[in-house]
Amino acid sequence: MAILNIVKEGDPVLRKECRPVDRITPRVKRLLDDMRDTLVEANGAGLAAPQVGVLRRIAIVENGEGEFIELINPEIIAAEGKQEELEGCLSVPGIWGITDRPMKVTVRATGRDGEEFTVSGEGLLARAFCHEIDHLSGKLFTDNAVRILSPEEVKELTE
């Protein structure tokens, strides 16, 4: 496994539409493994392939219990409710904002062994799903931010 370089805002790869994965190859599985290791090292909640310079529809999200949900060609198939919460991004370090996201989402995706599945998440997990799937369409959380916070506001919210 390898720790990959996380692409930062300003790199054009973050604004591009990702291509679907047609076949799950050993290279795709290795990318998933490397993305997991990179996510753990960076202490993040999720990571999308374009954040490591790969324009494929692949993302990984930590479920809040130390388990990772691998998503190949994910799409949100249901959303309900609303939450306005603090959000940040490994590709936009030091910037935090309040985003408007659904409270609950259901995602359909393919797993590393080719099985199609659905998974639902609420709260932070729903935000993480939305955030990572947005990356696959070239969107950053700052595009959805209701408000970008000052460093003082972030400190107040996180203490």
The tens digit of pLDDT for each residue in 73-126 reads 999 999 999 999 999 999 999 999 999 999 999 999 999 999 999 999 999 999
Fold annotation for 12-158: Peptide Deformylase (3.90.45)
Tokens at residue 141, please? 């959380």
Helix (H, G, I), strand (E, B) or coil at 14: helix
Separation between Cα atoms, residue 27 and residue 76, nearest integer Å: 25
Q: pLDDT tens digits, residue range 16-50?
A: 999 999 999 999 999 999 999 999 999 999 999 99
Separation between Cα atoms, residue 95 and residue 67, nearest integer Å: 26
In this prediction the pTM is 0.94
Separation between Cα atoms, residue 71 and residue 78, nearest integer Å: 16
Separation between Cα atoms, residue 129 and residue 59, nearest integer Å: 9
Residues 57 and 20: beta-carbon distance below 8 Å: yes
22 to 32, 40, 72, 110: CA distances (angstroms):
15, 27, 10, 11
pLDDT at 10 (0 to 100)? 95
What's 13's DSSP letter? G
Which residue in 71, 65, 64, 52 sits closest to 11, CA to CA? 52
pLDDT at 153 (0 to 100)? 86
Told to judge if 132 belongs to the known catalytic residues of this protein, a careful annotator would answer yes
Of residues 17, 132, 153, 156, which has the active-site annotation?
132
Domain range annotation of the chain:
12-158
Separation between Cα atoms, residue 40 and residue 61, nearest integer Å: 11
Helix (H, G, I), strand (E, B) or coil at 71: strand
Model confidence at 1: pLDDT above 80:
no
